[in-house]
Structure 1
Amino acid sequence: MTGQIPAIDKETGRKVKEYIDTLTKPVGSLGRLEEIAIKLAEITSDEFPVVTPPGVIVFAADHGVVEEGISAYPQEVTAQMVHNFVGGGAAINVFSRQIGALFEVVDVGVAQDLQFDGVEMCKVRYGTANFCRQDAMSREETEKAIQVGYERAENMIKKGIRCLILGEMGIGNTTASSAILAVLSGKSLDALVGPGTGIGSKTIAHKQMVIQRALETRKPDQNDPIDILSKIGGLEIAAITGAMLAGAKHRIPVLVDGFICTVSALAAKEICSTTIDYMFISHRSTEPGHEIAIRMLGKEPILDLGLRLGEASGGAVAFPIIQSASLMLREMATFTSAGVSGIEKM
Structure 2
Amino acid sequence: MPIHEALKQKIDFKTKPLGALGQLEDLAMQIGAVQNTLTPKLIKPAILVFAADHGIAEAGVSAYPADVTVQMVLNFLKGGAAINVFCRQHQLALHIIDAGVNFDFTKNEQLIDAKIAYGTRNFLHEKAMTTTQLQQCFEKGGQLVNAIANSGCNIIGFGEMGIGNTSSASMLMSCLTNIPLEQCVGKGTGLTAAGLQRKLTLLKQAQAKHANPKDAKEALMFFGGFEIAQICAAMLNAYENNMLIMVDGFIATVAYLCAKEINNLISSHAIFCHESNEQGHRHLLSYIGAKPLVNLGMRVGEGTGCALAYPIIQSAVLFLEEMASFESANISSKI
Q: Which moved more, 1:332-341 or 1:170-179?
A: 332-341
Q: 1:206 aligns with which of 194, 198, 204?
A: 198
The 1-side partners of 2:148 and 2:304 are apart by 18
Give yes or no for the alignment of 1:91 onto 2:82: yes
1:131 aligns with 2:123: yes
Contact preservation (8 Å) 2:154, 2:242: no
Is 2:215 the counterpart of 1:224? yes
Residue 11 of structure 1 deviates from its aligned partner by: 3.1
In structure 2, list runs of 5 or more residues that go unmatched.
none
Contact conserved, 2:231 with 2:255, CA < 8 A, in 1?
yes
Q: Name 1:288's counterpart in structure 2.
A: 279
Partner of 2:18: 27
* Superposed displacement of residue 116, structure 1: 5.1
Question: 1:96-133: per-residue Cα shift (whole Å, max 9, x none)?
Answer: 11111111101010011113512101111110001101
2-structure distance, mates of 1:76, 1:46: 47
Q: Which amino acid aligns with 1:145?
A: C
Q: Distance in 1 between matches of 2:86 and 2:157?
A: 11
**Cα distance in 2 for residues equivalent to 1:84 and 1:160:** 28
Using structure 2 for the length normalisation, give the TM-score.
0.97
Match of 2:303 in 1: 312
Equivalence for 1:45: 36
The match for 1:298 is 289
Displacement of 1:146 in angstroms is 2.0
Please list every run of 5 or more consecutive structure 1 residues that lacks an aligned counterpart in the other structure: 1-9
- Identity in percent: 39
- Is the aligned partner of 1:109 residue 2:109? no
Aligned to 2:245: 254
Q: Secondary structure at the match of 2:48?
A: strand
State the one-letter code of the partner of 2:333: G
Q: Deviations over 1:11-53 (max 9, x none)?
A: 3122111111111111111111101100111222122111243
Tell me the distance in 1 between the aligned counterparts of 2:135 and 2:279: 29
**Counterparts of 1:272 and 1:322, CA distance in 2:** 24
Q: 1:125 to 1:220 in 2, by over 3 A?
A: farther
Question: Structure 1-normalised TM-score?
Answer: 0.94
Partner of 1:264: 255
Match of 1:159 in 2: 151
- Are 1:83 and 1:116, in contact at CA under 8 Å, matched by a contact in 2? no
Runs of 4+ in 1 over 3 A off after TM superposition: none
SS of 1:128's equivalent in the other structure is: coil
- 1:65 maps to which of 56, 69, 79: 56
Q: SS where residue 255 of structure 1 aligns?
A: strand
